[in-house]
Amino acid sequence: MGGRNPGTPVSAPLNWRRATCAPSAQFARDGAEVVIRYRYAGEVHELRFPGVVWFALVQEAHAATFTTLTSAWTAWAVAGGLVRHVDGHVDLRYGYLGLREIRLPATIWGQILAAIRARAIDDL
C-alpha cells in the first residue's frame, strides 16, 4: 500500500522556463525559492536559492560584479557572500540562514549569468 501520506500536501508542478542563451539550464520559482536545474556530464543537478539571495545575485550580475572572476574570492552583496573561479568551477558562498556553499561548472555559471543579463528570466 504505497502512495502519498494523506496529510502531506501535493506541491504543484513547477513552471520551468528556458533561455536560448542557457541551453543546459531551466529556471523556475518554487514558493520563496528560485530553482535552477541543469544538465552537466550526463547528470541533472538542481540549485535552490532563497528569493533574497537570488535578487541580490541578479543585481550583482547586472552590475558586472562577476565579470572577471579569479581564484581569489570576490565579495558580493548577500550576507558576506563570496564567489571565485577555480579549476573550471565557480564556488559561491552566502550566509543567508546559515552558510551555504555551492560549486558548479563554470560553463553553467556562465549560462546562468547570460540568462540574467539577457533578462530572459526576469519574471522569476
Do the beta carbons of residue 83 and residue 69 sit within 8 Å? yes
Residue 17's alpha-carbon distances to 51, 91, 97, in angstroms, are: 17, 24, 27
Say which residue, 4 or 74, is predicted with more confidence: 74
The pTM assigned to this predicted structure is: 0.86
The position carrying cell 572572476 is: 69
Helix (H) or strand (E) holding 86: strand 81-86
pLDDT at 100: 87
| Average pLDDT score over the chain | 89
pLDDT at 1: 47
pLDDT at 105: 97
Contacts of 45 (CB under 8 A, 6+ apart): 37, 38, 39, 104
Every domain of the chain and the residues it spans: 17-117
pLDDT at 36 over 50: yes
| Sequence-separated contacts (24+) of 58-61 with Cβ below 8 Å | 58/116, 61/113, 61/116, 61/117
pLDDT in tens, 79-111: 678 999 999 999 999 876 678 899 999 999 999
In angstroms, the CA 64 to CA 100 distance is 22
State the pairing for strand pair 33-40/43-50: antiparallel
Q: Write down the H helix ranges in 1-124.
A: 51-62, 106-117
Q: What is the mean pLDDT of residues 28-32?
A: 96
Q: What percent of the chain has pLDDT over 70?
A: 88
